[in-house]
Structure 1
């Protein structure tokens, strides 16, 4: 990254002043080392996002930011509908509502070590994973509509999990405003057999142990102690979300000139929030959020069944579930005034701070759990939302962030060697694709510890617990 285009606002905050078509500044939260290592395209894309109509305050990038489709991955931007703001399909991404869900197991590491190989095999057998993976469910048209309206609530009603789960999911497990009729027949067809599946790429189910605590007050509120074993899911809306992104990006590119929007980059195709197309996308996107929530709820049920094979009677309550590819209407303070904004988070996690009314009562005093995925062989993290609701519209990083392309990772590593190396470190990998394992090699990602430290130092979120992987079922 060329640092000449930035001025330093703080040790972990860098501003790109307005220039050219930018309507607001660009801001990156990162250490000097992380910023140095970022691709120059992150700066280019941030400047392009800052030029979109109706953008408020600044275009932001998180410490794990890297080049993406239109928006940088790790990008955050908010728009005011009353000031000509837009919604961008590229600002949400193709894997709509991809997110992370973490479960308590009530087990300790010694319990897992005694059966680790068997547990890895049972999880791999029960959790459909990989490109084109399909589940046991086959939804009819009526069931598809109910799922897209109801999300995790629908899944619980079908017997997948407990109503208690819903209190620890964003939006109570069901995103309001979903309009299944705005979802194309092709998107619904692609999802018909994919409920309860991980998919491919960086999606996974991981068994983890808490190996260090940083904020004891928040750890206590979250029910975390050193040696505790957790299970974490990372997946999204599968083929349905991807098709919605494809469908609406195509429409937005065509419609932009008619709306008076000059696109610097076709990948930033967008529509006015108050337009018919903008409202259609929001209805479809919210349906995809519900799809992702339902998918993770079904996978939670399957994971609980797998653990119960080896640990009969086990209870696995939910710690939290949070998404990182969304556009949500939220209330935020901007220049001392409270405004309703449409906040795009692409590869960025909502991180409400202490006292926010939407948090479960047991978490409200310490802030929202922010779940940060590692990279198969590195730690994952539990953070707590920062103290300032206005800091990047209460957003934080979502993971390590890629340091190189999948193509480059394939050139450097072989899947079998990655699996064997991780096994020597006590981490068991199960995957239907050794190619996929090579693409997701741990060193293909940034140092997640440096990313979360930068998020903490920038005031986005606080470190609570580090989680070390034991078993990973990789898509």
Structure 2
């Protein structure tokens, strides 16, 4: 299958390619990225184009690679009233996402403390497979967290009031309903709130390497090169995974009664307005709220760690939250399609919302510039802060990439890289890595991912996410 180039950085698989496709599949990529796209992932994009109620195109962003059902780096909008919702279009780690914390510290102040700071963060923020949090919630407390998201944490003294406004959806989806969760999901959530987890999740101390637009950067509190920031990347842990597992089974079994027969069973879906569809949507919201609360707790402990290390208050260090974005989620949104406003479910799987200036769903502080987008690179490489642009509303349902995107599976990475060697190589470049397991370092080695600079450049050139700041790592904490 060879997608046709129809514009600069835009490729298309026509609707006529497969008889089940209802719309074309479009891939946003430069020539180098396009050549590396897997055939299986392109086939998955054609499967997504089958979804009942899908609007305009099935989209693959420049970080796209094969996932479960949907490509990771995939976007699909379906009509809210007549279309379907698909758990595979969100993924197992519901509301895996990223938040960026600024400081007024300089690289030269922090670098000498990188090792001690990393070790302190590793102690203060539980990480690793099956990691248990510092706070074990009882059932009632978990219900509050699943309903209120980040606000629950702030109410409990784990953060600042202004943190809430700087989260997508103010850190909570209002349709969360704990009654839609299994006992297994609830039991997995109670011990894990406030934990980083493993895999590609991380805490990273970074410095500003390049500012592309000083005015936009200043609006986010980023004012100079070498300014230190902290990036937090994690999601909904075992609770989100269990919600996805539960509803993939429920939805797959329910499809025959709706006469739904997808080209791949991994694309299991049900009508959004059905009881099954609403149950998944409300359960997914619980997972999303857990993730926002999880990142909020971790943010609080990062501030505490910096306070102890630098003997200053977080306020004096200007440790404000720049923004928090989700990149595995399905959202009810309003989009203008062919001149008419339509309510849709926007599936973003490994994709980030990127709304432009003036959009009612972004914070007051960013109304004049657009929504910040946090685009993490691979371990040891650059990351970016982008700003949503108007063209995104025209071509990508207000979405852009979520990161670099894998080019090697975890198994292939373990065959090619040795964790201790990768750690030593990064240390030689002045980047300190703290991890519970060298295997994770091998799985997340820089060579496992696409070139983040190319991903950011394609986003910028398409007008879906403008480059504002590039940051580079000082120290990395992994699970």
TM-score computed with the length of structure 2 as normaliser: 0.97
Q: Does 1:391 align with 2:391?
A: no
* Counterpart for residue 104 of structure 1: 102
* Counterpart for residue 10 of structure 1: 7
- Give the SS at the match of 2:101: strand
In 1, distance between residues paired with 2:113 and 2:380? 20
| Cα distance, 1:264 vs structure 2 | 1.1
In 1, distance between residues paired with 2:201 and 2:83? 32
Q: Does 1:66 align with 2:69?
A: no
- Give the SS at the match of 1:187: helix
* Counterpart for residue 291 of structure 1: 290
Q: Does 1:414 align with 2:450?
A: no
- Give the SS at the match of 1:393: coil
Q: Any unmatched runs of 5+ in structure 1?
A: none
* Counterpart for residue 88 of structure 1: 86
In 1, distance between residues paired with 2:35 and 2:229? 34
* Maintained 8 Å contact 2:126/2:134: no
Q: Does 1:263 align with 2:267?
A: no
In 1, distance between residues paired with 2:74 and 2:111? 39
* Counterpart for residue 37 of structure 1: 36
* Counterpart for residue 455 of structure 2: 451
* Maintained 8 Å contact 2:20/2:263: no
Alignment RMSD (CA, Å): 0.9
What are the superposed Cα offsets for residues 236-274 of structure 1, whole Å, 9 maximum, x if unpaired?
Answer: 000000000000000111110111101211110011011
* Maintained 8 Å contact 2:380/2:446: yes
- Give the SS at the match of 1:115: helix
* Counterpart for residue 302 of structure 1: 301
Partner residue of 1:344 out of 344, 347, 361: 347
* Maintained 8 Å contact 1:391/1:459: no
What are the superposed Cα offsets for residues 81-103 of structure 1, whole Å, 9 maximum, x if unpaired?
Answer: 32x30000000000000000000
* Counterpart for residue 218 of structure 1: 216
* Counterpart for residue 200 of structure 1: 198
* Maintained 8 Å contact 1:46/1:61: yes
Q: Which moved more, 1:231-240 or 1:302-311?
A: 302-311
In 1, distance between residues paired with 2:357 and 2:149? 26
TM-score computed with the length of structure 1 as normaliser: 0.98
Q: Does 1:281 align with 2:262?
A: no
Q: Does 1:137 align with 2:138?
A: no
| Cα distance, 1:354 vs structure 2 | 1.5
Alignment of 1:181-260 (within 5 A): 181-224=179-222, 225-260=224-259
* Maintained 8 Å contact 1:217/1:366: no
Q: Does 1:127 align with 2:132?
A: no
What are the superposed Cα offsets for residues 191-216 of structure 1, whole Å, 9 maximum, x if unpaired?
Answer: 11101100010000000000101122
* Counterpart for residue 79 of structure 1: 78
- Give the SS at the match of 1:55: coil
Q: Any unmatched runs of 5+ in structure 2?
A: none
* Maintained 8 Å contact 1:256/1:263: no
- Give the SS at the match of 1:356: coil
Partner residue of 1:437 out of 438, 441, 444: 441
What are the superposed Cα offsets for residues 272-294 of structure 1, whole Å, 9 maximum, x if unpaired?
Answer: 01110000001100011100000
- Give the SS at the match of 2:342: strand
- Stretches of 4+ aligned residues off by more than 6 angstroms: none
What are the superposed Cα offsets for residues 45-76 of structure 1, whole Å, 9 maximum, x if unpaired?
Answer: 00000001111111001000000000000000
| Cα distance, 1:107 vs structure 2 | 0.5
- Give the SS at the match of 2:330: strand
- Give the SS at the match of 2:366: coil
| Cα distance, 1:7 vs structure 2 | 2.3
* Counterpart for residue 151 of structure 1: 149
In 2, distance between residues paired with 1:143 and 1:113? 39
In 1, distance between residues paired with 2:15 and 2:337? 18
